Amino acid sequence: MQSYFSEIEDPRVQRTRSHLLTDILIIGILSVIAGGKGWEDMENYGLSKFDWLREFLALPSGIPCADTFRRVFERINPQVFERCFQRWVQSIIKTIGAQVIPIDGKTLRGSYDREQQKSALHLVSAWASEHRLVLGQVKVADKSNEITAIPALLELLDLAGSIITIDAMGTQTAIATQIYSAKADYILALKANHPTLHGQVQTWFDQALALKFEGISFSYNERIEKGHHRLEKRQVWSVSVSQLPPLHKQSDWVGLKTLVMVVRIRRLWNKTTQEVQFYLTSLESDACKLGQAIRLHWGIENGLHWTLDVTFKEDACRVRTGHAPHNLALLRRIALNALNREQSFRRSNRQKSNRAAMDNNYMLTILAACLSHPT
């Protein structure tokens, strides 16, 4: 594991280095896997596991104090740390393959600093739906938005053969071109931020439904799911763009082949809701395949964002100085990948984390799983 993070330069002055940077990084990672939330937890984990840790760490001056962990992670270059993270992920997954990769952003709500007029950190992440792993993340620059961060994230990934799904913020012609040029396919949500195109597509589908798609070649799929005291019906229609009159600036959407309409009807015990959503995609018209891919997009909300908040308490974290919020967020994603990778103990990530905190052998099992040969 140390070899994957060897590129990180020690930000401390030479004469003040009483602890090795690799020891600090490894204890930090192990602490977060074991449920640690901050610097004091890193120190406590190191003190509690000292006899075990010194079997494979140098620890020339014992366990670093909480302030040492804080100062180091405040100053580590997060871009270099991210490159090391991606090299580690690439060692786990030889090729991403033909799977759905949702891309979405998340704000670390506790990272704002009102006194310093510092806004909360916002990260855009790529999620491998099949492997349930974070593939990479990019920070959204201050006074900017996801439109600038998504291309930078796409540039870091080997996208060939994958299906990239993005919400309406990333539905941009340049992003579609970048994905298609990388030999991948896209499914982009179409909402009111493209008012002319959205209105045109909505009107066409309304008219087609009214006429029951008479004379139109289309694909249709319907799924009904029950659970959590609700019933959800999802209807998916997909139509080749060749079935429609010319769309607004259609030539700007490189690779565009199909339009999709999804209608979701949710019946709860006390109310019924209906949602209609449209999508642009470079895939062929296949409502079943497209519906499954669109459904998998929400895996980034449940598998990544929800887990980071519930298991790792990310939104409650008030770390906010220097590069610490960014670097600590990356530690959480390393920990999440490691826990998801370990499959012998089939429990929730919280239970895996608790067991890793108490059982050194299980912690080694987690490390072995996330450092195994590529699959």
Closest CA to 127 of 162, 151, 160, 88: 162
Annotated domain spans of the chain: 2-91+319-370
Q: Which residues lie closer than 8 Å to 42 by C-beta, 6 or more apart?
A: 27, 28, 31, 36, 64, 66, 69
Alpha helix segments (H runs only) across the chain: 21-33, 39-48, 50-53, 66-75, 78-92, 146-156, 173-181, 195-210, 287-297, 299, 307-310, 324-341, 349-358, 360-370
Mean pLDDT, residues 295-318 taken together:
90
Vertex 306: Cα angle to 305 and 312 (nearest 5): 90
Percent of the chain with pLDDT over 70: 96
Contact (CB, 8 A) for 275 and 264 = yes
Q: What is the pLDDT of residues 41-81, one digit of tens each?
A: 999 999 999 999 999 999 999 999 999 999 999 999 999 99
Beta strands 258-267; 230-240: pairing state: antiparallel
How many H-runs (helices) and E-runs (strands) does the chain carry? Answer: 14, 9
Q: What is the pLDDT of residues 80-100, one digit of tens each?
A: 999 999 888 888 776 555 589
pLDDT at residue number 374: 45
Q: What is the pLDDT of residues 120-141, one digit of tens each?
A: 889 999 999 888 899 999 988 7
